[in-house]
Amino acid sequence: MILFFYNLALFVALVAGAPWWLWRMATTHKYREGLLQRLGRVPRSLISTSFGDRPLIWLHAVSVGEVLAVTRLVKELESVLPGYLIVISTTTRTGQALARERFDSTRVFCCPLDLPWAVHAYLDALQPRLLILAETEFWPNLLDGCFRRGIPVAVVNARISDRSWPRYRRFRGLWRPLLSRLSRVLAQSQTDADRLLALGCLPDRVSVAGNLKFDVRAAQESEATRFLRSMSAELRFIVAGSTLEGEESTLVEEWPRLLAEDPQLVLVLAPRHPERFSSVAALLHKSGVLWSKRSSWSAESSSAPRAPRSLRPGEVVLLDTIGELASVYSLASSAFVGGSLVPAGGHNPLEPAQFAVPIVIGPHYANFVAIVDSLRSHDALRIAAKDELGTILIELLNDRAVAIAMGIRAKEVFDRQAGATDRCVEAIRELLAASYEAEPAFSEPGQ
C-alpha cells in the first residue's frame, strides 16, 4: 500500500514537472546524458557474453565522494570474490565520469530512475546476486524489486546525517517496512547505527564498520600533480578543493592579503561541479588576478603532454579536470575544503588529511560531522567563517611549526581510523556465503 502511494506521488510529480524537465533537457546537455539508461535501457555491455556466466554484484555509489569511498572496497571484493562480476552505477554526471576512470567502463552505468519499469528492466537483465548501496540510497522501488526477487541488499558506509535525520524520523513509519528487510547494514558510527535502528532496521543486521572514507587513498599521482610540482620551483601551494558558488569569490577577494604575507604562493582552485568551470574562469578573468587553466596544459597529441611553462608567484590555477584533486592535495602547504562556507553540508576533509596537510573548512559541515569532530578533537583542523578564512590561512602560513604539527595530527587520525573496508568485505563475504553457499568463489587476498 505504501509503495502504491509512493508511485502515485512520483507519477504526479513527473507529470507536473514534465515541462521543466523537457526544457532542461532541450537546453542543457547534462540532463540528456544517460537519459535512456535512467529510463530503463540496459547498456549492451552489461549483458555481453564476454562477462561469461559469473554471478553479478550490483554496487550503487551516487556521486564522486561515494565512488572514491568504494574504490578500495571494489578492488578488495574483486580479490576475495574472483568468481563474481561487480558492476557499478552512479547517479551524477561527475560520479559517472570518475567511476569510468576508476573501473572498467563496460561495467559502469547510470542508475535507473526509481520508476517501476526502469528498475525491473535492470533487475531482470542483471539478475544480481547482491545489491550493495553506498550510504543512504534508499529507493523504494529498487528495494522492493530486490526483495520480491529474493536478492539480498547490503548497505555500506551507512549514515543518517544531522540534516536528514528529522525528515527520516518524521516518516519512519513509511521506511520501516523497507528497512526492516535489509540484509546487512554497516554503519559509519554508533550514532548512525542507532538512527537506522530507530527507522526500522533489525538489530541483528546492523553493525558499526566505520567510515570507508578513512580508507581512501589517492590511487596514484595525477598528471596535474606532476605538472604542478615540475612548474613550481620554490613556490608554495594553497589548495582549495570542492568549492561551490560564493566560495571562489571569497578566496579571490582574500588572495591579495595572502600574497602580502607570502608572495611565493600559488592558489589551486578546484570547483566541485564541472558545469561551473566556465563561470569560475569568468570570475578569475574579471578579477584581474594572474591565472591559468589546468586543461590548457595537456596537448591533444600522441606525444607525452608537457607543462608549457613555469608557474609564476601569485598565480591562481583553475583545476578544471575530474579525479585529480585528491592527488593535488599532496602539494599543499594548507588546504581549504569547500562546500562549507555556504550551507551545503561540506565535503570530505580526509583527502588532504592523508597527506599530513593542515586543513581549514567553513562552519557548514553537516555531511561530515563525525569526521570533522574527530579531527577537531585532535586539533587537526581549523573552522573559519567567511570573514575569518583569510586570517586563519595567514596564521598557518606564518607559523609553519603549528601548521606542520596540525597536518601530522590529521594524518594520525586518518591512519588510526582506517579498517572499514576490511570489515565491510568480511560482512559481504559472510552474507553471500549464508545466502548462496558461495564458498567456492572465495579466495584469500593475494591468491
Q: Is the distance from CB of 110 to CB of 36 less than 8 angstroms? A: no
pLDDT digits (tens, 9 = 90+) for 329-340: 999 999 999 999
- What are the pLDDT digits (tens) for 307-324? 557 899 999 999 999 889
Residue 447, pLDDT > 80, answer no
First vs last C-alpha separation in the chain: 49
Domains of the chain by range and CATH?
Answer: 53-210+419-441 (3.40.50.11720), 223-296+308-416 (3.40.50.2000)
Q: Directed axis angle between helix 420-436 and helix 64-80, to 10°?
A: 60
Please identify which of the residues 33, 66, 135, 300 carries the catalytic annotation.
66
pLDDT on residue 438: 41
Q: Left (φ > 0), alpha (ψ -120 to 50) or beta: where does 246 sit?
A: left
Q: What is the tens place of the pLDDT at every residue in 276-304?
A: 999 999 999 999 999 999 998 864 333 45
Give the pLDDT of residue 446.
39
- Catalytic (active site) residue 66: yes
The model's pTM: 0.79
